[in-house]
Amino acid sequence: MNSPVYLDHAATTPVDPRVAAAMAGCLTADGVFGNPASSAHAHGEAAFERVEAARAAVAAAVGAEPDEVVFTSGATEADNLAIFGATAHSQPRGRHVITARTEHKAVLDPCRELERRGWQVTYLTPDGHGRVEPDRLAAALRADTVLVSLMHVNNEIGTVQDVAAFAAVCERHRGVRLHVDAAQSIGKTEFDFHACGADLVSLSAHKSYGPKGVGALLVSRRSGVRIEPRQFGGGQERGLRSGTVATHQVVGMAAAFTLVVAERPAEGVRLAALRERLWLGLEAHGGAVRNGAPEGTVPAILNVSFDGVEGESLLAAVAPRISVSTGSACTSASGDPSYVLRALGRDDRLAEASLRFGLGRSTSLDDVEAAIEAVGRALARLRRIGGACATAR
């Protein structure tokens, strides 16, 4: 059997060969392998310079200053650092946080943990397309609100939110801090740290053709936001995140971000066309419901619910031909229907019987046609086995 067509780029992307080459240059004895903290000698200095060049490149790619970049092991760590780090600092001023029901678990689970510690958390329900209306945010703000955490691009349906509007609301509300999970943004849509007005932004490399296991938290200097560190030790990253900085990882992140940002305009147009072809093809199979407004979502993500089939079987039936998922990689193992789609008002059956197509660099028109055909066959077969024609539709 041929290996299936990869259409799960929102879960993770292959590392760009140019990125892999840059990483390889920071590993072995003939490369820059020193410890960037070993400032006493040339091996350490060389690594330090690579790390700082990477920091500058990441900053440039996202419209930040180099000293606003705190490298982490990924967006999960960045989300945790932002949420616990910002709330630890502002605890005296209040113990209320606002987020949305459609956030990634790396935001929701820290919020749940805050609740266990006695904090109050408001979970906003977005509109049917996954957008939190700024007015709703404004209405939820309280005198004791210290942090708002709302994502930029949703990982399941690709909805792009108006972060600048959130920032304006927070700004008016005596400067409550805004954290934005932008793990899915870089290379998928435009993102500019300073322009968006957020205080804290989480990034991940592996959604943008960089390596897994590295990300960053952007910490706004202009806004003067303060966070408490969570990982203590050697004092790396200006004391905000101790632990040896992995040169090859941050170099990979920098190379990947630089490439995807440069290539995004053209790639966005290409993927948007492929996505619309994919949607038309899927729609023709009948009983398909598109999740997320076409104009308000990134071109790289298409999320569709299918009537008359059970979700797990749909996924299993298409798996030999295409690699897709029902939702985020983190929740697809649990088999629960997507909490994101349920938050948008889909019933359990439709939420469960949904596929997230994550288009990416390698995606060709052939891949899209193969996906349309594979889903069509699976639907026909499962609907027949399920007696859907006779009973359900």
Partner 1 sequence: MRYSALTRRYFEAAPCAGTLEGPGILSGAAGSRSLGTWVRFDLRVAGAANRPAVIVEARFLAFGCPHTIAVAAWVAEQAAGHPVSAELPQPVDALRRSFDVPVEKLGRLLVVEDAWRAAAARK
Ligand X SMILES: Cc1ncc(COP(=O)(O)O)c(C=O)c1O
List, by residue number, the catalytic residues. Answer: 330
Task: State how far the alpha carbon of 378 is from the alpha carbons of 230, 317, 372, 373, 386, in Å.
Answer: 47, 6, 10, 9, 12
- Asked if 53 is part of the footprint of partner 1 (rule: CB under 8 A), the reply reads no
The residues near 29 (Cβ < 8 Å, ≥ 6 apart) are none
- Asked if 1 is part of the footprint of partner 1 (rule: CB under 8 A), the reply reads no
Q: Tell me which stretch binds partner 1 (CB under 8 A): 10-18, 70-78, 213-221, 308-316.
A: 308-316
- Asked if 68 is part of the footprint of ligand X (rule: CB under 6 A), the reply reads no
When CB distances are held under 5 to 8 angstroms depending on the partner's kind, the choice from ligand X, partner 1, a copy of itself, none that residue 310 binds is: partner 1
- Asked if 208 is part of the footprint of ligand X (rule: CB under 6 A), the reply reads no
Q: What is the rounded CA–CA span in Å between residue 39 and residue 375?
A: 56
- Asked if 105 is part of the footprint of a copy of itself (rule: CB under 8 A), the reply reads yes
Q: Tell me which stretch binds partner 1 (CB under 8 A): 74-82, 338-346, 366-374, 380-388.
A: 380-388
Q: What is the rounded CA–CA span in Å between residue 341 and residue 319?
A: 21
- Asked if 149 is part of the footprint of ligand X (rule: CB under 6 A), the reply reads no
Nearer to a copy of itself, 46 or 350 (CB): 46
- Asked if 151 is part of the footprint of ligand X (rule: CB under 6 A), the reply reads yes
Q: Residue 363 half-sphere exposure, CB side, CA atoms within 13 Å?
A: 31
CB 210 within 8 A of CB 62: no
When CB distances are held under 5 to 8 angstroms depending on the partner's kind, the choice from a copy of itself, ligand X, partner 1, none that residue 87 binds is: none
Interface positions, 236-275, toward partner 1 (CB under 8 A): none
| Shortest Å distance, C-beta 333 to ligand X | 13
Closest by CA position to 111, among listed 124, 101, 121: 121
Q: Tell me which stretch binds a copy of itself (CB under 8 A): 172-180, 185-193, 326-334, 336-344.
A: 326-334
Interface positions, 189-248, toward a copy of itself (CB under 8 A): 204, 206, 211-214, 230-236, 242-248
Q: What is the rounded CA–CA span in Å between residue 244 and residue 233?
A: 9
Where do we find the tokens 């019933």? 347
When CB distances are held under 5 to 8 angstroms depending on the partner's kind, the choice from ligand X, partner 1, a copy of itself, none that residue 151 binds is: ligand X
- Asked if 329 is part of the footprint of a copy of itself (rule: CB under 8 A), the reply reads yes
- Asked if 367 is part of the footprint of a copy of itself (rule: CB under 8 A), the reply reads no
Our CA dihedral for 129, 171, 203, 108, rounded to 10 degrees, sits at -60
Interface positions, 36-55, toward a copy of itself (CB under 8 A): 37-44
When CB distances are held under 5 to 8 angstroms depending on the partner's kind, the choice from ligand X, partner 1, a copy of itself, none that residue 176 binds is: none
> Identity (one letter) of the amino acid at 136?
R
> Identity (one letter) of the amino acid at 1?
M
When CB distances are held under 5 to 8 angstroms depending on the partner's kind, the choice from ligand X, partner 1, a copy of itself, none that residue 346 binds is: none
Largest separation between any pair of C-alpha atoms in the chain: 77
Site of interaction with partner 1 (CB under 8 A) = 39-40, 45, 309-310, 312-313, 315-317, 333, 335, 347-349, 352, 381, 384-388, 390-392
Site of interaction with ligand X (CB under 6 A) = 74-76, 79, 104, 106, 151, 155, 181, 183-184, 204, 206, 215, 243-244, 328
